[in-house]
Amino acid sequence: MTSSVSKQDEEVRRSSFSEFQPLTKKPALENGKTVANDSSTAGRKISKKLTKNKKGRVKRKYTQKNYDPTNPFGVLLLEVEELFTENGISEEKRAVDINLLLNSEDLLAKYNRNLEEVKVSKLTSSGDGLALIPHPEIEDGFQAVVIPFAYPGETVDIRIFRTHPTHAEADLLKVREGSEMRDNDLINCKYYGKCSGCQFQNVEYTKQLELKRKTIENAYHFFAKTLKAANALPKISDTVPSPLQYNYRTKLTPHFDLPRGKFNPEMIDMPALGFGAKGRPTWRESVQGGNKSVLDVEDCAIGTSVLNKAMSNEREIFKRIYKTKVRGGTILLRENTRAMKNDLDEEQKKKFINEENGSKIPDTEDNVYDEAPSSKEGETLIKTCCTDSKQIVSENIEGREFRFSANEFFQNNNSILPIVTKYVRDNLKFENSESEDRYLVDAYCGSGLFSIMCSDGVKEVCGVEVSKDSVAYANENAKLNNIQNAKFILGKAEQIFDDIKFPSALTSVICDPPRKGCDEPFLTQLSKFHPSKIVYISCNVHSQARDLEFFINNTENGSQYQIESIRGFDFFPQTHHIESIAILSLKK
């Protein structure tokens, strides 16, 4: 493994060092025009406090911010620690004096270096390569380095641009020896290799599914150690594929940056409009999007067709109005699906589409829209794009319509939703005579998706939410779909089951919390309620594993439950993201 330094590397080092300077510098000038400063600190989990030494010089001090162990940074630290442990590398052999590093430009240049022929060891849960490299200061010492777009077993050249106390971050410059899973002919995007949105476009889809199964497996390895030691975890089932591997995402949020501080809007060039870059990699030639922290993206391979049409239109609008902006911002693109009767004439059809307030083509009255078949006879699904965060939009799942505010959470891959809702519905059943009534509680019910889709076959459904707006949308969606046996209530976090009078022995509970998972008070209340079946749906498999470890081992009735199955569902092909559903039932 050898190192090399170039003029470009020196520029990268200076750019990296400038991140520790006070953010008060004037907007940059280029050819007499103001250009956006490219000093994004996205992904940094640390803060640098500025103090003065005895000579009055500014001294930079490292302070670790609080983080959730189950968020991406917390999980990465566990993965890095495991890599060190597996290779027998002591703390002394990997130590970094980060405060000294922050205050020495020479030392920073020593750490921020190029390395050739680095062997990649592992893949992180975020889809990045993880490798060991020689420590720049300690003899026979090592650093761990995160390398996006690199895969285990590969030999690569890298450029290190940032150092943390535990690990370094690097750009992938060249793949000298690729792994068997790398197939660049599969890439379906001109921005792949720079854009932070996708990690696996050059990996065959069945292999992506296996990688995601291992992500779930590793989550329980890290966060459910007691359950694993007691052989209380089932084998992780094969990941369920998405019917669409591209053009599936129904929400996109392209954004743009503007210079910090005061600037003359008339003197700025049009900033890039798109998505965040994943460092400054050079491994793939002819990648488009520019070299700023925000890539200039004209279309997204995983976004739906109507969103890409709308993104093109919004770009044309942005060209005309960006000089009116005083700060960076985000553009919302959200698909809006409504069922239209097939017997409408052309004028009625045009009126229906226009009333959906989709993304209009500049200077015309026409909307951008797509048509899709409906599950109901005599109807066609019309898909438009909403750009107003306050607008009410719709999604159509197996002929049922769900309305919600455009800026609210709703699953972003409608092609897999019928598969997921059927899986949940099938697993809510428990052993009892067919004549007995059954009940369903949907905790974290949102706008009522699972409550309504699982309402068949139960006597009564109660959805609980702490958001007043979500409860209102859920009740409206029940009426819209003529669901007579569902009600939705506003629940207090500390008393979420108090107003539910269902017999627990005949009740199933759906839990679909946000990424941070369930808190301990909720899990304690769930255990006390003592339902016959629990279906835990999670967009963060690490917080799910942590919650089940706590629920079974540390709550009143938790030990009476067994985990029947754990299975991933691929809501986001080409990315590292995976959703998991765990089924819990009372032991016999």
- Segment 435-464 shows an average pLDDT of 92
206-244+413-586 falls under which CATH superfamily?
Vaccinia Virus protein VP39 (3.40.50.150)
The yes-or-no verdict on residue 366 having pLDDT over 80 is no
- Segment 138-154 shows an average pLDDT of 98
Q: Where are the alpha helices (DSSP H) in 239-284?
A: none
The yes-or-no verdict on residue 203 having pLDDT over 60 is yes
pLDDT confidence bin for 233, thresholds 50/70/90 = very high
pLDDT confidence bin for 33, thresholds 50/70/90 = very low
**Which pair of structure tokens corresponds to residue 587?**
């032991």
Q: What is the pLDDT of residues 110-141, one digit of tens each?
A: 999 999 999 999 999 999 999 999 999 999 99
Kind of pairing between the strands at 155-163 and 114-123: antiparallel
Question: What is the C-alpha to C-alpha distance for residues 4 and 12, in angstroms, rounded to an integer?
Answer: 14
- Segment 460-479 shows an average pLDDT of 94
Residue, of 346 and 143, whose pLDDT is higher = 143
Q: Tell me the residue length of the chain.
A: 588
**Which pair of structure tokens corresponds to residue 582?**
């765990």
One-letter identity of residue 261: G
- CATH class of segment(s) 3-182: mainly beta
pLDDT confidence bin for 492, thresholds 50/70/90 = confident
Alpha-carbon distances, residue 73 vs 161, 340, 368 (angstroms) = 17, 45, 39
The whole-model pTM stands at 0.89
Q: What percent of the chain has pLDDT over 70?
A: 87
* Ranges in the chain annotated CATH 2.40.50.140: 3-182
Whether the Cβ atoms of residue 570 and residue 416 lie closer than 8 Å to each other: yes
| Confidence at residue 368, expressed as pLDDT on a 0 to 100 scale | 85
Name the DSSP letter for residue 2.
Answer: -
pLDDT confidence bin for 430, thresholds 50/70/90 = confident
**Which pair of structure tokens corresponds to residue 543?**
């917080």
The yes-or-no verdict on residue 457 having pLDDT over 70 is yes
Backbone torsion region of residue 83, taken as left when φ is above 0, otherwise alpha when ψ lies between -120 and 50, otherwise beta: alpha
Q: What percent of the chain has pLDDT over 90?
A: 75
The yes-or-no verdict on residue 322 having pLDDT over 60 is yes
Question: What is the C-alpha to C-alpha distance for residues 138 and 144, in angstroms, rounded to an integer?
Answer: 14
**Which pair of structure tokens corresponds to residue 138?**
């300690």
Residue positions in the annotated binding site? 411, 444, 465, 512
pLDDT confidence bin for 499, thresholds 50/70/90 = confident
**Which pair of structure tokens corresponds to residue 493?**
């976090």
Q: Where are the alpha helices (DSSP H) in 322-434?
A: 346-355, 417-427
Known catalytic residue: 518? no
One-letter identity of residue 555: T
Which residue is catalytic, options 195, 198, 454, 539?
Answer: 539
* Ranges in the chain annotated CATH 3.40.50.150: 206-244+413-586
Question: What is the C-alpha to C-alpha distance for residues 457 and 503, in angstroms, rounded to an integer?
Answer: 16
Residue positions in the annotated binding site for S-adenosyl-L-methionine? 411, 444, 465, 512
